[in-house]
Amino acid sequence: MRFSRSLKIALLSIPLAVAPALADAVDVETVASGGFWMRDNQLHDIGDLLLFGTGSFFDIGFNYTPLPTQIPLRSAFGEHEGFATRHHVGFLSSYPVKENRYLNALVWFERSGWDSEDYFFFPQYSDFGLVRSVTTWGLGYTDVKRGYSVAAGMQHQNVEFVGDVFPAENDSLLYSWANLRYGRISAQVQFHRTDFRLLRLSFDLEDRAVFGGASSGIRTYLPNIDATLYKRRLDGSDEDFIRVNWEQNLYGQRLYAEVTYDFPDDGFHSAALKFYPDPSRFFAFEVTCLRRRVMADNWDDLMLGWAVEMPILRVGYNAANEYDHLFHAKGTWILEFHFNLESLNDMLFAKNGRQAIELETTQIKRKNTPNKPAETTPLTGAAEGSSGTASKTITAKGIRYEKSGQTSNTQGGK
């Protein structure tokens, strides 16, 4: 208990103390729809990692909001203090089966929800709480020579608890998914039983050094475009909409712009300017602008935010990523403790890195071991150049020996 209190005190700061007074409550409807975006986010990450299909990837993290007033819940009974939680872990591994052919295995897990008490493993399951998890697994096959990969698997959504203020939903939902890539074009599809739910087309045109492409030049300035067709439930009926995301390298694979737009009706969703000090993407600084749509068709309803990402910590304030993935949380600092690493052909880089991180190597030279040529010395009793029987030779380096003569003394011979 003392350690937990000390940890919270150490993490709190003056901005964190002021932030709860400016924080907005999250709506019951937003928390209830969280499973939809959890499933989509996992499939999007998997599609990015299957672009080459011969590496390995590991990701783990959790969001931390230490104060119950940071992300309150708004229901028909008013506002309730509590904690929004999100934990996630992902793993992908590739195994060579033949030359330039690989099998892929992947597992993604995410658990999120809202509860009146802070928790990591065991929620209190209060009347105003909701906790769910999504698990995605699959197998894939990649042929590097022919430039294609296929993968398929299942998604399982499990609802641990639904409080009285939330709409009823199924305890368990099972989805199937598949991913097909040829060259730099990918297609991804998701079904619930036989009902279509998602179709994503991705055009990853930018050259990446980690995938054998160029690290500079005109090809590194080609765009990366995602177009996703969603079918979701809204007010009791299915609604189709398309979300297009455009990512554009602006300078040396260090400065990027991203724009997200929803068709046909919702329009502009978000824009971001991201700076990576190194193309390996272990560090990032981003500024975002997001349209919250609290007031329909009102362009004044824009929210500016920013975030700083480091290898073990991400700090965001009104950033689009936190807004989209943590129940539209706004007006407060959100911390995410995380770590991710991708490896490919002895190269290391962070998630979606463009170039490998430069590793410093040091050559170690042993002392007192000069490089000497091998010595060849005849072992014979006769003097060099004299006539006699053919002499035997031993090639040695760093070995002490004595010439054997006619006497019976065998010193040095044993």
How far apart (Å, rounded) are the C-alpha atoms in residues 280 and 256?
14
Q: Does 152 map to a domain? A: yes
In a domain, 343, yes or no: yes
User: What pLDDT is attached to residue 24?
Assistant: 82
> From residue 383, how far is each of 92, 375, 388, 403 by CA, in Å?
71, 18, 9, 12
75 part of a folded domain: yes
Range of the domain at 256: 2-349
Region at 78 (left for phi over 0; alpha for psi -120 to 50; beta for the rest): left
With CA atoms as reference, report the closest residue to 324 among 76, 100, 44.
44
pLDDT < 50 positions in the chain: 1, 3, 9-10, 12-18, 21, 374-376, 381-389, 404-414
pLDDT of residue 223: 97
Identify the pLDDT of residue 164: 86
Whether residue 362 lies inside any domain: the answer is: no
Contact 56, 339 (CB under 8 A): no
CA dist., res. 52 & res. 344, Å (int): 9
Instruction: Give the C-alpha separation, 278 to 365, whole Å.
Output: 32
pLDDT for 57 equals 96
Q: Which amino acid is at 376?
A: T
pLDDT number for residue 127: 85
CA 381, 387, 388, 394 torsion-angle sign: positive
Write the DSSP symbol of residue 220: G
* Distance, CA of 359 to CA of 341 (rounded, Å): 14
What pLDDT does residue 13 have? 47
CA angle, corner 255, sides to 314 and 280, nearest 5? 60
pLDDT of residue 306: 96
Per the structure, the count of domains in the chain is 1
| Closest by CA position to 88, among listed 136, 130, 159, 30 | 136
The answer to the question of residue 371 being in a domain is no
With 0-12 CB in 10 A as exposed, 13-18 as middle and 19+ as buried, what is 279? buried
Q: Are 149 and 141 in contact (CB under 8 A)?
A: yes
Look at residue 411 in the predicted model and tell me its pLDDT.
Answer: 41
374 vs 257: CA distance, rounded Å = 62
Whether residue 133 is contained in a domain is answered as: yes
Find residue 78's DSSP bridge partners: 75
Instruction: Note if the pTM is more than 0.85.
Output: no
Within a domain: 19: yes
How far is it, in rounded angstroms, from Cα 309 to Cα 293? 27
Q: Evaluate whether residue 62 is within a structural domain.
A: yes
Q: What does the pLDDT read at residue 132? A: 95
Among candidate residues 167, 192, 190, the one with its CA nearest the CA of residue 30? 167
| In contact, 41 and 33? CB cutoff 8 Å | no
The C-alpha angle with vertex 26 and arms to 59 and 284, in degrees rounded to 5, equals 35
Q: Name the phi and psi angles at 12, rounded to 5.
A: -75, 150
Distance CA 341, CA 91 (A): 10
Query: What's the number of CA atoms in the CB half-sphere (13 Å) around residue 72?
Result: 15
Q: What is the DSSP letter of 32?
A: H
